C-alpha cells in the first residue's frame, strides 16, 4: 500500500480558520482502516472548538471532523470486520467489544474512547503529514480529509445501499439527540418534554421524544427562525425565553402546571442546565445534559434534587458505537427515522469556512460537506 496525497481542511493554530491543503495519508497499520470520505459536516463540537478557549488545546496543526461516512479504501493487518469497498460510518466513540463498558449492556463508553484525547493513533504517531510536518488527528476520526485512517473499532459497516450523503448524520448529531431521548432519558408515552436548543442535535432529541410517544414537546430557543423546523419534526409548541419577563423555568411551570417530565439541555451552557433542571417536575423530573460542557463548573442548587429530580449525562445518545450506527442506518433505510430534514445546506469541503459562517447565522442546521 502506498501513501495517498489528497486535500484536507487543516487548522494550523488555536482560533484559526480552516485551510485547504494537500496532505499525505499513510497506509493503515495493524487493526487500522483507511477510508475515502464521502460526506461530513461541522458539528457543534467543532464550532465550539473554533471559538472557545476552554476547548482549545495545543495539538496543532490538526484535521478536525468527527461526523462522517465513507468507503473503505484499504485495511491493515488483522482487520476482520470490514474490507475494501464497504460503506462505513466514522465513529468518535469506538466499540472494542472487550472492555467492561462494551460488555455491559447498559454502558457505551468504550475504554478506548480516551485514545482520541492524544490526537494520535494507538502507536503514538500520526498518519497525516503536510508540508513535511505531522498533523494531529481528531476525535478518533478526522473526517475533514478526502482520506483518513481510523482504528477498526471506530468504524461501523453499514448497508451497501445507504446514501452516504444522508446517513453520515448517524455518526454523531442525529444519534446523540435521538438516543438521548430514547436511551438516556427513556422518555415515556404520554409525557411532557422540553428541549433547550434547536440545532441539529436538539431537533434529533425532538424526533426521539416523538418516537417514544411524548404527547407534549416544548421547543425552547432564542432564535425564532428555528421554530418552523422544530414543529416539522415533532415539537408541539415553541417558546423564546426573551419573550418573557421571568426565568424560563417559571414559564414552563406556568405552561404545564407542575413542570415537565423530561428536559434536555442541548446547548452546552451551564446556566441553561440549571434552568432545564429547574423546569422538571419536582418528584420525578429527569434532565439530560447533551450539550458539550468542558472546563466550567455547574452552579446548581442542591434543593432542586431534594424531592426526586435527577440530572444525567449522555454520550452518543447511549448507543454502543458500532452496533448503534449500523442499527440506525438500517432504521433509516426502513424509513423508521428521518434524517433528510436535518440537512439544510450542501457544499464541497473546500467551502468549509462558508459552512462555518452558515452555522453561525443559526439558519443552517447541518451543512453536508461533500468530498
- Domains within the chain, CATH numbers bracketed: 4-173+318-370 (3.90.180.10), 186-313 (3.40.50.720)
- The per-residue pLDDT for 115 is 73
Distance CA 246, CA 258 (A): 17
**Given the residues 37, 96, 150, 280, the one annotated as active site:** 96
Give, in degrees to the nearest 5, the angle at Cα 338 between 334 and 340.
120
Gap between the Cα atoms of 12 and 17, Å rounded: 8
Residue 131 per-residue DSSP state: T
Which uninterrupted H or E stretch holds 88?
Answer: strand 87-90
How far is it, in rounded angstroms, from Cα 70 to Cα 277? 39
Report how far residue 165's alpha carbon sits from residue 323's, in angstroms, rounded to the nearest whole number: 20
For the stretch 233-239, contacts whose Cβ atoms lie closer than 8 Å and that sit 24 or more positions apart, written own/partner, are 233/203, 233/206, 233/207, 233/338, 233/341, 234/206, 234/207, 234/209, 234/210, 235/195, 235/206
* Alpha carbons within 13 A on the beta-carbon side of 233: 30
Q: Is 24 helix (H, G, I), strand (E, B) or coil?
A: strand
Report the distance separating Cα 149 and Cα 137, nearest Å.
Answer: 9
Cα 169 from chain centre: 8
Our answer to whether residue 24 is catalytic in this structure is: no
Choose the catalytic residue: 6, 31, 99, 327: 99
> Residue 367 phi/psi, 5° resolution?
-105, 110
Handedness of CA 110, 115, 121, 124 (dihedral sign): negative
- List the beta bridge partners of residue 238: 219
Give the pLDDT score at 54.
57
Residue 231: burial class (beta carbons within 10 Å; 0-12, 13-18, 19+): middle
- Amino acid 45: pLDDT: 79
Q: Active site residue: 32, 36, 64, 66, which one?
A: 66
Asked if residue 325 lies in contact with residue 150, where contact means CB atoms within 8 angstroms, the answer is: no
The secondary structure of 172-214 as a DSSP string is THHHHHHHIIIIII---TT-EEEEE--SHHHHHHHHHHHHTT-
Position 39 scores a pLDDT of 98
Helix (H, G, I), strand (E, B) or coil at 258: coil
Catalytic, 287? Answer: no
| Chain centroid, CA 220 distance in Å | 20
What is residue 152's predicted lDDT score, i.e. its pLDDT?
97
Closest CA to 147 of 44, 31, 24: 24
pLDDT, residue 55, reads: 57
Q: Which of 46, 146, 152, 265 is catalytic?
A: 46
Establish whether the linkage from the previous residue to 34 is cis, with ω within 30° of 0. Answer: no
φ/ψ of residue 131, rounded to 5: 55, 35
Active site residue 47: yes
Any catalytic annotation for residue 37? no
Choose, from 31, 48, 157, 327, the residue flagged as catalytic.
Answer: 48
Catalytic-residue membership of 284: no
Tens-digit pLDDT string for the chain (371 aa): 899 999 999 999 888 899 999 999 999 999 999 999 999 999 877 887 777 665 556 689 999 999 999 999 999 999 999 999 999 999 999 999 999 999 999 999 999 998 777 789 999 999 999 999 999 999 899 999 999 999 999 999 999 999 999 999 999 999 999 999 999 999 999 999 999 999 999 999 999 999 999 999 999 999 999 999 999 999 999 999 999 999 999 999 999 999 999 999 999 899 999 999 999 999 999 999 998 887 788 889 888 888 899 999 999 999 999 999 999 999 999 999 999 999 999 999 999 999 999 988 878 999 999 99
Catalytic residue among 6, 21, 29, 47: 47
Taken as a whole, the chain contains a residue count of 371
Chain CA centroid to CA 48, Å: 12
Cell numbers that stand for 235 in this block = 415539537
Active-site residue, 367 included: no
Let me know if 99 is a catalytic residue.
yes
Active-site residue identified among 37, 49, 64, 110 = 110
Query: Is 67 in the active site?
Result: no
Helix orientation angle between 352-361 and 44-51, rounded to the nearest 10 degrees: 90
Q: Which of 62, 199, 204 is nearest to 139 (CA)?
A: 62
Amino acid at each position: 500500500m502506498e501513501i495517498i496525497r489528497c486535500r484536507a481542511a487543516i487548522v494550523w493554530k488555536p482560533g484559526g480558520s480552516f485551510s485547504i491543503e494537500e496532505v499525505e495519508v499513510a497506509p493503515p497499520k495493524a487493526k487500522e482502516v483507511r477510508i475515502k470520505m464521502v460526506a461530513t459536516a461541522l458539528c457543534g463540537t467543532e464550532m465550539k472548538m473554533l471559538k472557545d478557549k476552554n476547548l482549545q488545546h495545543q495539538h496543532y496543526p490538526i484535521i478536525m471532523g468527527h461526523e462522517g461516512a465513507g468507503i473503505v479504501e484499504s485495511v491493515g493487518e488483522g482487520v476482520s470486520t470490514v474490507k475494501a469497498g464497504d460503506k462505513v460510518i466514522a465513529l468518535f466513540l469506538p466499540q472494542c467489544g472487550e472492555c467492561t463498558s462494551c460488555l455491559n449492556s447498559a454502558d457505551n463508553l468504550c475504554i478506548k474512547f480516551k485514545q482520541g484525547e492524544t490526537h494520535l493513533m494507538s502507536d503514538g504517531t500520526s498518519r497525516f503529514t503536510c508540508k513535511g510536518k505531522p498533523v494531529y488527528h481528531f476525535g478518533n476520526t478526522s473526517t475533514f480529509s478526502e482520506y483518513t485512517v481510523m482504528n477498526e473499532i471506530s468504524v461501523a459497516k453499514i448497508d451497501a445501499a445507504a446514501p452516504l450523503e444522508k446517513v453520515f448524520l448517524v455518526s454523531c448529531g442525529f444519534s446523540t439527540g435521538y438516543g438521548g431521548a430514547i436511551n438516556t432519558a427513556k422518555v415515556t408515552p404520554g409525557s411532557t418534554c422540553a428541549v433547550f436548543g434547536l440545532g441539529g442535535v436538539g431537533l434529533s432529541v425532538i424526533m426521539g421524544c416523538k418516537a417514544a410517544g411524548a404527547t407534549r414537546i416544548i421547543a425552547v430557543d432564542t432564535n425564532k427562525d428555528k421554530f418552523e423546523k422544530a414543529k416539522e419534526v415533532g415539537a408541539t409548541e415553541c417558546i423564546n425565553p426573551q419573550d418573557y419577563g421571568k426565568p424560563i423555568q417559571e414559564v414552563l411551570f406556568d405552561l404545564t402546571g407542575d413542570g415537565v417530565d423530561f428536559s434536555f439541555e442541548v446547548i452546552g451552557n451551564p446556566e441553561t442546565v440549571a434552568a432545564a433542571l429547574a423546569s422538571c417536575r419536582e418528584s420525578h423530573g429527569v434532565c439530560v445534559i447533551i450539550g458539550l460542557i468542558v472546563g466550567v463548573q455547574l452552579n446548581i442548587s442542591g434543593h432542586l434534587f431534594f424531592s426526586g429530580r435527577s440530572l444525567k449525562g449522555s454520550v452518543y445518545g447511549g448507543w454502543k458505537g458500532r452496533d448503534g450506527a449500523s442499527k440506525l442506518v438500517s432504521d433509516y433505510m426502513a424509513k423508521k427515522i428521518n434524517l433528510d430534514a436535518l440537512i439544510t445546506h450542501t457544499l464541497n469541503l473546500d467551502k468549509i469556512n462558508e459552512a462555518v459562517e452558515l452555522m453561525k447565522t443559526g439558519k443552517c442546521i447541518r451543512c453536508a460537506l461533500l468530498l
